[in-house]
Amino acid sequence: MVNSDTANEKIPLIELKGITKLFPGVVANDDVTLSLFPGEIHALVGENGAGKTTLMKILYGEYKPDKGEILVKGKPVRITGPAEAVALGIGMVHQHFMLVPGLSVLENIVLGSEPVSGGTVDAKSAREKIEKIMQENAMPVELDVDVDSLPVGLQQRVEILKLLYRGAETLILDEPTAVLTPQETEELFKTLETLKAQGRGIIFISHKLDEVVAIADRITVIRRGKVIGEMPVQEANRQKIAEMMVGKPVLLQVPVPEVEVGEDLLVLKDVTLVEGGVKKLDGLSFHVRAGEIYGIAGVEGNGQEELLQVVSGEIFPSSGDVLLCSVQVCGQRITKIGPLGRRKIGIGHIPADRQKQGLFVNMPLYVNAAVGWQWKDEFQHHGIIDYKAMREKAASIIQQFDVRTPSVDVPANALSGGNQQKFIVGREISFDPSVLIAAYPTRGVDVGATEFIYRQIIDEKVRGKAILLVSADLEEILALSDRIGVIYRGKIIKEFSREEATPEQIGLYMLGVKEE
């Protein structure tokens, strides 16, 4: 057991000295120096794309640094792959879990470090060892089930068990709370405190400032690959960290103007969706009014994906109705109308995944200007495509929505993520839909683009559109929404108005602890 007051006199577990990593055209890490002591939680904070994950992947041996030195317990080491990192007592929980579906929890934990006796994996001794670890740290998980069947919180627990099983003294956690509810986060923090008390060192990557202040002993802020500052938690406050992260004072809240709300434009009535015998949506109802942003909050996997498919028309519900008011008619049943038909009557859709859904990444940008709207008369005459009109459209999106691209002829994947997203947002808005679905509109996008996209969404609201916002980022939902619906097991179990919504209250419903 290590007392954190005396930690500084100890030899650090990890020292990174002058780490520089170049990606084509980008300096991902620039002369980064960082240390971690036993019994310490060291938070690494910075914006998306600041270089936090890259730095940790270097420490975990997944990337090779171009310059710099890594010391483990005072000794310089070369880490050429995860196997070496594991051998040196370093473990990492990736932001996207690295679990193998189809393998049991036990198999997932031992994979890569299997105890072998007589040519076979010694499941018995592995089980004993894991059970001991689970007991010591109060992290029980059932070992014989398919890891895929576990909820997210438990999957994360399995990830941490993987590290402990390997005897990791240094634990790297990359955005561990991104997928957790506030309550699950609290559980995680308890676990981290236990691990810390055992003398392990933890590097905690996050951009959620409240959490950082709550759990960390030391904070390092990184911006554009450079260390901007390092401070003990006692000297830190949210405003100060935020300024260091972004480089200029930022408004943590986007101003949302008051708009007079109109009538219901999008209504879901008692929508149920059964897939493969499982109820993905279970009598889900809500309505979105003109001039209103309706946010859907929830733990991932509670039906958000299916809800988006039902609203966009990609899947038809097993029962229940979807109704729409458009310029032409009101109260139209659109339950059995596909995505094409829904666009025609005025639904725009910023998709959850810009690379997989929103764009044809290998096709020129001008073709992507018409994705979803290819049926419009301006783009085709008697089944023949008008490429000229597509180019004009692309050019106007680029200009209006500040998309940085060398030309309209480059394939969409030649653009950065933020610019791709701005292009999609621009495309959907420019066709003037009366209802806009915004799914994870700023996921993986830098702060500048995020702010820009927020403004666009708010402008749409001001123009009297009905906006359905689905996001995994509770802060985003709280910042933008007029009303918030909490989805849990395929149902909206609680609605909050802007005024009454607090993260803690919403969290309780997200977890299903409270139900109406």
The footprint of other proteins on residues 372-411 (CB under 8 A) is: 372, 374-375, 379-380, 383-385, 404, 406-407, 409-410
Distance CA 389, CA 399 (A): 15
Distance CA 1, CA 11 (A): 15
Does 495 interact with other proteins (rule: CB under 8 A)? no
Pick the closer one to other proteins by CB: 93 or 484.
Answer: 93
- Answer for which of 356, 377, 499, 504 binds other proteins (CB under 8 A) is 356
Does 363 interact with other proteins (rule: CB under 8 A)? yes
Q: Shortest distance, CB of residue 68 to other proteins, whole angstroms? A: 16
Pick the closer one to other proteins by CB: 294 or 366.
Answer: 366
Pick the closer one to other proteins by CB: 35 or 156.
Answer: 156
Pick the closer one to other proteins by CB: 155 or 185.
Answer: 155
DSSP code of 114?
-
Determine the interface stretch with other proteins among 180-188, 308-316, 393-401, 489-497 (rule: CB under 8 A): 308-316
Radius of gyration of the chain measured on its C-alpha atoms: 25
Does 341 interact with other proteins (rule: CB under 8 A)? yes
Distance CA 70, CA 142 (A): 37
Scan residues 5-44 and list those touching other proteins (CB under 8 A): 23-26
At which residue do the structure tokens 């905690």 appear? 204
Calculate ∠ Cα 337-341-346, nearest 5°: 115
Scan residues 129-188 and list those touching other proteins (CB under 8 A): 162
Does 454 interact with other proteins (rule: CB under 8 A)? no
What's the full length of the chain, in residues?
A: 516
User: If residue 67 lies in a helix (H) or strand (E), which one and from where to where?
Assistant: strand 67-72
Structure tokens at 233: 């938690």
- Answer for which of 343, 461, 483, 494 binds other proteins (CB under 8 A) is 343
CA distances from residue 54 to 89, 123, 205 in whole angstroms, order as listed: 19, 35, 11
Determine the interface stretch with other proteins among 131-139, 185-193, 261-269, 339-347 (rule: CB under 8 A): 339-347
Q: Shortest distance, CB of residue 472 to other proteins, whole angstroms? A: 19
Structure tokens at 232: 């003990």
DSSP code of 12?
P
Determine the interface stretch with other proteins among 135-143, 244-252, 324-332, 366-374 (rule: CB under 8 A): 366-374
Scan residues 422-441 and list those touching other proteins (CB under 8 A): none
Pick the closer one to other proteins by CB: 330 or 340.
Answer: 340
At which residue do the structure tokens 């998709």 appear? 351
At which residue do the structure tokens 């057991």 appear? 1
Residue 213's SS3 state is helix
Q: What is the 3-state secondary structure (H, E, C) of 410-423?
A: CEHHHCCHHHHHHH
3-state helix, strand, coil in the chain (%, to 5): 35, 25, 40
Distance CA 127, CA 115 (A): 10
- Answer for which of 280, 349, 391, 491 binds other proteins (CB under 8 A) is 349
Least Cα distance to 139 among 195, 92, 95, 180 occurs for: 195
Amino acid, res. 97: F
CB atoms within 10 A of CB 25: 5
Scan residues 49-78 and list those touching other proteins (CB under 8 A): 60, 62-64
- Answer for which of 68, 229, 283, 339 binds other proteins (CB under 8 A) is 339
Pick the closer one to other proteins by CB: 7 or 347.
Answer: 347
Does 416 interact with other proteins (rule: CB under 8 A)? yes
Pick the closer one to other proteins by CB: 337 or 506.
Answer: 337
Scan residues 234-293 and list those touching other proteins (CB under 8 A): none
Scan residues 91-130 and list those touching other proteins (CB under 8 A): 92, 94, 97-103, 107-108, 110-114, 116, 119-121
Pick the closer one to other proteins by CB: 97 or 189.
Answer: 97
